Every structure is written in C-alpha cells, then in structure tokens.
Amino acid sequence: MIAVVVPPSADPRDRLAGSIPKLRAFAISLARDSSRADDLVQETILKAWSNIEKFDPATNLDAWLFTILRNTFYSSLRKTRREVQDSDGAHAATLSVKPAHDGRLAMQEFQKAFDALSPEHREVLILVGASGFSCEEAAGMMGVAIGTVKSRASRARKRLAELLHLEDGEDMFSGTDGATQAVVLRSAAAGF
Amino acid sequence: MTKDKDEDATRRQAIREQIDENLKRVYTATLNEELPDRFRDLLAQLKGKEGSGTGGSA
C-alpha cells in the first residue's frame, strides 16, 4: 500500500494560489513595505506562470517560488542600491531598542530590530528561523553553500540580539519576573 | 569553569529560542493577513487567457 503523494494530472499553476500567503509574508520580510512586497509577489506570480515548465513537480513549489521572489528582489535592489542601503551601518545602530521591562520582547520592538537588519540577514532568518525550510533548502534558494547559510543565520541572530540588547554585558535574566523566567526555563528546556 | 560554560551555552540557547519564537510570531502575523484582491484577480486573468487564448506559448 503506497500513499499517493501527487495527483497525476495536477497542474502546478493550480497550486500557485495556495502559496501566495507564504510568498507574501516572505516578500514583506524582505521589502519591509507591503505595497512593494505586493509588487514583488505579483511579479513572481507572472514569472512563475510563464515559466512553469521549468518547475520540477518532484520539488517543493514554495521553494521554487521563494527563489524567484528573492532573485527578483535582489536584482531590483541592485538597481536602487544607491538609495539608503546601510545594512549594519549607522542608521541601523540608531534603531537599537531597549528590552521590554517584563523581559518578553514587545512585538513592535522586535519588529523594529528585525527591520534594521540587512536584507540578507532578514532573509536567512525568515527562511530557516520562521518558515521552516531546512538549511539545505535555504542554501538552494539563496544559491550559497549550506555552511554559508548556517554562519549567516548565526551572525544574523547575533546582530538581532545586539539590537535587542540581549547580549553584551546586559543580563536579560537578572531581576526578571515570573513570566520571563517561565519563558527562559521553557526555552532552556527545549534545548536539551 | 564548566558550570559557567554550561550556563553560557544555556543562555545563548535561550536567546536563540526567544529570537526564533519572535521570528515565527512576526512571520505568522503576516501570513494571517488578508490577501489583497489583486492576486486572485491576477490568477483569474492568467487562467482566462490560458483557456480562451490560442496564442502565447511559441
């Protein structure tokens, strides 16, 4: 008894609609601007539609679409890079946020710190940290080695922790309240 | 010594977990936003072209 995985006649184009929410979430995390993100998604759909024969149905459609979207994003970024593109520079540094008093990161503060990261750092964190792709899949999408994905993700997390003052001297766990300790303990427990 | 190291590793692990948890929150929040109509319209338009149009694929 073998479970049928893919309906034999499935046109991958029929599956595009189902991928749009994920694609859009990825686009927003890269572009940080929803109208620009929507333009990116639209462009990606158009490219995917007209190049659908290049998609291998045995592979992950989301990964294929994400690849088109990020390539589109970076090629337009290259054209406009003379605009403020300071990545980890001075502008980003001024955006550093204070930790929330209760230790739990306020969403807005986290978002602000995340937005201050370079696009490359945002990308790797979303791919491997949030959207559940493996490092191998992310490497395929980003066109780099797996080791590069891992080291970039690690640097990105470190940078984010710096922006959030979770590292470097300040002890986020001192003088915390019960709720924070619960989060900390839970997190620590998950690590073992 | 070892204890310090362990504590350090635990702490780093906790920070990492916290960051990833927040990343997921950010991503999921966006994921759950209502989609703009333009995408549904776009797909309908593309599908319509495909169905009626004889041209296109060279």
Is residue A51 included in any domain, yes or no? yes
Is residue B54 included in any domain, yes or no? no
Question: Mind listing the pLDDT tens digit for each residue in B1-38?
Answer: 566 778 888 888 888 888 999 999 989 988 998 999 99
Is residue B58 included in any domain, yes or no? no
In 3D space, the residue among B5, B26, B37, B10 whose CA is nearest the CA of residue A111 turns out to be B26
Cβ contact, residue pair A17, B43, below 8 Å: yes
Within an 8 Å CB–CB cutoff, is residue B44 touching chain A? no
Q: DSSP assignment, residue A88?
A: T
CB B24 within 8 A of CB A130: yes
**How far apart are alpha carbons B37 and B46 in whole angstroms?**
14
pLDDT of residue A186: 47
Q: Are residues A90 and A157 in the same domain?
A: yes
Q: Are residues A38 and A19 in the same domain?
A: yes
In 3D space, the residue among A50, A12, A75 whose CA is nearest the CA of residue B42 turns out to be A50
Is residue A184 included in any domain, yes or no? no
In 3D space, the residue among B35, B40, B46 whose CA is nearest the CA of residue A51 turns out to be B46
Q: Say yes or no to pLDDT of B52 above 80.
A: no
Q: Which residue has the higher pLDDT, A102 or A144?
A: A144
User: Does the predicted model carry a pTM greater than 0.90?
Assistant: no
Q: Are residues A72 and A21 in the same domain?
A: yes
Range of the domain at A61: 15-83
| Domains contained in chain A, number | 2
Q: Are residues A161 and A129 in the same domain?
A: yes
CB A52 within 8 A of CB A28: no
ipTM for the predicted complex comes to 0.79
Pick among A13, A19, A187 to test the B interface (most B CBs inside 10 A): A187
Give the distance, in angstroms, between the CA of residue B44 and the centroid of all CA atoms in the same chain: 23
Q: Are residues A89 and A165 in the same domain?
A: yes
Q: Say yes or no to pLDDT of A41 above 90.
A: yes
> What count of other Cβ atoms lies within 10 Å of the Cβ of residue A30?
23
- Chain A and chain B share a number of CB contacts under 8 A equal to 96
B2-31 vs A146-163: helix crossing angle, rounded to 10? 90
Is residue B52 included in any domain, yes or no? no
Cβ contact, residue pair B14, A188, below 8 Å: yes
Q: Say yes or no to pLDDT of B54 above 70.
A: no
**How far apart are alpha carbons A156 and B23 in whole angstroms?**
12
Which of B13, B23, B46 lies at the smallest CB-CB distance from A129?
Answer: B23
**Mean pLDDT in residue range A160-169:** 78
In the numeric block, the tokens 């009626």 are attached to B52
Is residue A110 included in any domain, yes or no? yes
Nearest CA in chain A to B16: A157
Q: Are residues A26 and A49 in the same domain?
A: yes
Last residue within a domain, chosen from A83, A109, A143: A83
Exposed, middle or buried, A131 (CB in 10 Å: 0-12/13-18/19+)?
buried
Instruction: Write out the two tokens for A116.
Output: 């201050």
Which of A13, A41, A184 lies at the smallest CB-CB distance from B39?
Answer: A41
Nearest CA in chain B to A11: B47
Question: Mind listing the pLDDT tens digit for each residue in A46-72?
Answer: 999 999 999 999 999 999 999 999 999
Question: Mind listing the pLDDT tens digit for each residue in A117-142?
Answer: 999 999 999 999 899 899 999 999 99
Is residue B24 included in any domain, yes or no? yes
| Domains contained in chain B, number | 1
